[in-house]
Amino acid sequence: MTLVETSLLEEPFCRPQPTETPVRAPAPPTRERGGARDVVAPLPADFRLASGERLNQSSVVGRIHGRAGAPVVVVAGGISAGRFVHRTETNGLGWWSGAVSVRGPIDLSRFQVLSFDFAPGSEPGGSAAPVTITTQDQARLLALLLDHQKVDRVAAFVGCSYGGMVALAFAELFPDRADQLIVVSAAHRAHPQATAWRGIQRRILQFAVDAGRPEEGVALARELAMTTYRTAEEFDDRFDSIAPAAAGDNYPICDYLTARGQAYRTHTTPARWLSMSDSIDRHSVTPEAITTPVTLIGFTSDRLVPIDDMRELAARLPTLWRFVEAPSLYGHDAFLKEDAFVGDILRTAFKDIKA
């Protein structure tokens, strides 16, 4: 893999073993053997979002993996990710077990990893109406969770996609609460083309809700989203263009997208999808206001977070430690697929942390 790097660090890499990790839906809080446990922080009665709205939930739920008493690393992913970042007995494969594991790039024998469920939640009985929530709101909720755990400062905040946006917002709001940020496939703003795609997804979903077919709307919106996560080159490699027997029948790639949409129908609610999709497009931070040291990782094939936006972010950050960009067949989803490449950079970033 050819990469371009702007860096103040010049350490060698170690290769982790690649593994593919699916995203899982949120589940009720649990406790189990092996050190993994859920933590629940109640929301203050007067907690309001930046919009002035209230959340229809009473708490923020996180999950801690790793060695008790070790330095804390926050890990956050895309809007479909949650607190189950690492495989355990109860939740199976986590959404990023390729990075978060014992002796992995984010080593659970050295660190405690805190992951959390973004608000609004998607639990049964949740709000039927979307809320206007920002990445700064998510950062404030994380701060409440850290306060509840009596953690004043974390060794690192690793954020991918939406989680990277939240990491930037967290550093802007709380400059003294993280030693470093590692931001993957996220920038300081949403690109208008990506907003256009997500806007179409939201209108599809709203149309389906108005028609009384909300689950179909979720599935269709997810199908369209999948076409923006990956690259044309990957689809060309994976699918042929043999025509079906009749007009209206599915082409091979359509069968794939239909399956992905159907699998996602019970993963979220229409209100949560609309809230989270809008939150991405509402994201905005001022790079010059971020004083926490930052490592940036971007992919030149990412259409949702164009590499030029990450280059601009890198140029404007006053405390950039390192900026690495590379090609990938997988576009925006590269952070879930390029485990060895991303793992190298994570290992370097964590090398000198005393655990």
Helix (H, G, I), strand (E, B) or coil at 241: coil
How many whole angstroms separate alpha carbon 172 and alpha carbon 94? 29
pTM of the model: 0.89
Instruction: Using pLDDT thresholds of 50, 70 and 90, give the confidence band for residue 20.
Output: very low
Longest pairwise C-alpha distance within the chain: 63
Mean pLDDT of the 2-12 span: 43
- In the set 38, 137, 302, 339, the catalytic residue is 302
Which of the following is catalytic: 38, 97, 332, 333?
A: 332
Listed in sequence order, the residues at least 6 apart from 323 whose beta carbon sits closer than 8 Å to its beta carbon are: 5, 6, 7, 295, 296, 298, 310, 311, 314
Question: How far, in Å, CA of 109 to CA of 263, rounded?
Answer: 34
Q: How confident is the model at residue 194 (pLDDT cuts 50, 70, 90)?
A: very high
pLDDT given at position 244: 87
Q: Which of 115, 161, 277, 279 is catalytic?
A: 161
Residue 121's pLDDT is what?
80
Tell me the C-alpha distance between 106 and 96, whole Å: 10
- Cα separation, 187 vs 311, in Å, equals 9
- Active site annotation includes 161: yes
- Per-residue pLDDT of 247-292, as tens digits, reads 988 889 999 999 999 999 888 999 999 999 999 999 999 999 999 9
Is 147 an active-site residue?
no
332 is catalytic: yes
* Mean pLDDT across the chain: 88
User: pLDDT by residue (tens digit) across 233-244?
Assistant: 999 999 998 898
Q: How confident is the model at residue 7, as a pLDDT?
A: 42
